[in-house]
Amino acid sequence: MKTPKKKDAAVGDFTPDGRQNLNFQEIVRPLEQSLRRYLEHYVGNKSVADDLLQETLLKINKGLASFEGRSSIKTWAYAIANRVGADYLRHPMRQRKIVELDETEDVIDSNPGIDEQMIIGQMNACIRQVIDSLPAPYRTALILYDLEELTAKQTAEIIDCSLAAVKIRIYRARLRLKEALENQCDFYHDPDNGLRCKNKAAQ
């Protein structure tokens, strides 16, 4: 079960017309590590994620003057990081083999079981390969909701889609992940009782 998320703390003073005077350092300090982790999950490479984080921070700093408060600072910053990551992966040399998924079926419940949460959280080679094969909107929804533990509403705001659509994407991505892992991996528990997997082809 997800723990309730705290609202973003007030940052900076207010101008005479009621708009908030946002301070870059105060905004970035609590978000920087989360944004770095998200970008690493998104592109699957730590050094690349560090470079993309710097680009993200520059864009955040540049965009503060025009931030209108229509979303929280957190979701706004994640949306910028998401666009930076997507632009990086859009390069032809970085294109992954994408598996098409259908968004037409209705989905009511997107809450995973305990084992499924552990599977999603275990970012080893098997899981990374499957996540990389997902279309970008599904990959983004899965990472934001299951790995970054944002709410479905926050995820929808970052991706800029409806709440219903993001639930469908999460469901479809999980289904694809589960099916692929069952076909490609043998599961076992490590000494700490964490659920892990080995690629069947490598055995």
The string of DSSP letters for 95-121 reads: ---PPP----S-----PPPHHHHHHHH
Look up residue 54 and give its two tokens: 């710097």
Residue 171's pLDDT is what? Answer: 93
74 or 115, which is more confident? 74
- Kindly compute the dihedral angle of the four CA atoms of residues 3, 79, 87, 104, in this order, to the nearest 10 degrees: 70
- For the segment 110-138, the average pLDDT, to the nearest whole number, is 64
Segments of the chain assigned E as strands: 13-14, 20-21, 185-189, 195-199
Q: Name the residue with tokens 């419940």.
A: 109
Neighbours of 1 (CB within 10 A): 5
- For the segment 73-100, the average pLDDT, to the nearest whole number, is 79
pLDDT at 199 over 70: no
**CB under 8 A, 24+ apart: contacts of 57-66:** 57/28, 57/32, 59/84, 60/24, 60/27, 60/28, 61/24, 64/22, 64/24, 64/27
User: How far is the C-alpha of 116 from the C-alpha of 11, rounded, in Å?
Assistant: 37
137 or 21, which is more confident? 137
- For the segment 160-177, the average pLDDT, to the nearest whole number, is 93
User: How far is the C-alpha of 185 from the C-alpha of 124, rounded, in Å?
Assistant: 11
Residue 157's pLDDT is what? Answer: 95
Residue 120's pLDDT is what? Answer: 47
- For the segment 11-22, the average pLDDT, to the nearest whole number, is 45
Residue 20's pLDDT is what? Answer: 53
- DSSP H/E element including 126: helix 125-133
User: How far is the C-alpha of 18 from the C-alpha of 4, rounded, in Å?
Assistant: 29
Domains and CATH numbers, the chain: 14-94 (1.10.1740.10), 114-202 (1.10.10.10)
Cβ within 8 Å of residue 4, ≥6 positions away: none
5 or 140, which is more confident? 140
**pLDDT > 70: what percent of the chain?**
64
pTM of the model: 0.68
- For the segment 111-140, the average pLDDT, to the nearest whole number, is 66
- For the segment 1-15, the average pLDDT, to the nearest whole number, is 44
Residue 169's pLDDT is what? Answer: 94
Distances (CA, A) of 125 to 15, 67, 130: 50, 38, 9
Residue 95's pLDDT is what? Answer: 56
Mean pLDDT of the chain: 76
151 or 181, which is more confident? 151
